[in-house]
Amino acid sequence: MDLPPFQTLLDRYSHDVHRFLVANVGHTDADDCYQETWIAALRAYPGLQNAANLRGWLLTIASRKAIDAHRVRGRQAMPMAEPPEPAEPSEAGFTPKEDAAELWAAVGALPAKQRAAVVLRYLLDAEYPTVAATMGISEAAARRNVHEGLKRLREEHGHEWPA
Part of the chain binding other proteins (CB under 8 A), chosen from 12-20, 57-65, 67-75, 97-105: 12-20
Which of 6, 7, 21 has its CA nearest to residue 123?
A: 21
Residues 89-128 that bind other proteins (CB under 8 A): none
**Residue among 54 and 150 whose Cβ is closer to other proteins:** 54
The residue count for binding other proteins (CB under 8 A) is 23
CA distance 163 to 151: 10
- Among 82, 99, 127, 156, indicate the residue that binds other proteins (CB under 8 A): 82
Q: Angle 128-135/139-157 helices, nearest 10 degrees?
A: 100
Is residue 22 exposed (0-12), middle (13-18) or buried (19+ Cβ within 10 Å)?
Answer: buried
In the complex, least distance from residue 66 CB atom to other proteins, rounded to whole angstroms: 15
**Residue among 51 and 77 whose Cβ is closer to other proteins:** 51
In the complex, least distance from residue 130 CB atom to other proteins, rounded to whole angstroms: 21
Cα dihedral 61→51→18→108 (10° resolution): -50
**Residue among 42 and 163 whose Cβ is closer to other proteins:** 42
- Among 31, 99, 127, 156, indicate the residue that binds other proteins (CB under 8 A): 31
- Among 12, 28, 35, 53, indicate the residue that binds other proteins (CB under 8 A): 35
- Among 23, 29, 39, 159, indicate the residue that binds other proteins (CB under 8 A): 39
Which stretches of the chain bind other proteins, using CB under 8 A? 2-8, 10, 14-15, 17-18, 31, 34-35, 38-39, 42-43, 45-46, 82, 85
